[in-house]
């Protein structure tokens, strides 16, 4: 058998398989209900954050100072400016130039603990 004959045989076998599959698809009863392009699935409502994410959200919204202690016992203090499933973004003073601010991103798995620092107005209200 020449390579051209083998190629033609493969093409014919493929055509036979397509024909058989087409027949079996047509013979099926019932169909799978799929949404049409115009239809939209009902959207679920956003769930309120739980646990530490709720605390971070409150700190971010109230612009409360936060202290983060990493697993290497390094302490950072600043404002929480962002957060997601894996990270927390903190706006802190630049280590060499205290007049500048920088954003630091911390992976949550590298944080040992974090807590809010009461501001002066809050501290006087507590005492």
- pLDDT value at residue 47: 80
Cα–Cα dist 124/127, whole Å: 5
In CATH, the architecture of 52-118 is: Roll (2.30)
> Mean per-residue pLDDT for 45-72?
89
Cα–Cα dist 106/81, whole Å: 12
For 52-64, the pLDDT digits (tens) are 889 899 899 999 9
Domain ranges across the chain: 52-118
Record the pTM.
0.56
Inter-residue contact 114 to 68 (CB < 8 Å)? yes
Residue 51 has pLDDT above 70, yes or no: yes
- Tokens 């903190």 — which residue? 90
For 89-98, the pLDDT digits (tens) are 999 999 999 8
* Ramachandran quadrant class, 88 (left: phi over 0; alpha: psi -120 to 50; beta: rest): beta
């Amino acid at each position: 058998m020449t390579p051209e004959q083998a190629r033609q045989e493969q093409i014919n076998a493929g055509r036979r398989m397509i024909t058989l599959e087409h027949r079996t698809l047509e013979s099926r009863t019932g169909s799978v209900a799929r949404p049409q392009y115009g239809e939209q699935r009902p959207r679920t409502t956003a769930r309120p954050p739980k646990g530490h994410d709720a605390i971070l959200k409150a700190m971010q919204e109230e612009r409360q100072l936060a202290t983060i202690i990493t697993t290497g016992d390094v302490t950072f203090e600043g404002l929480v400016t962002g957060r997601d499933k894996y990270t927390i973004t903190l706006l802190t003073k630049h280590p060499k130039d205290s007049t500048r601010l920088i954003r630091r991103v911390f992976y949550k798995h590298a944080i040992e603990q974090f807590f809010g620092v009461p501001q002066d107005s809050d501290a006087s209200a507590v005492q």
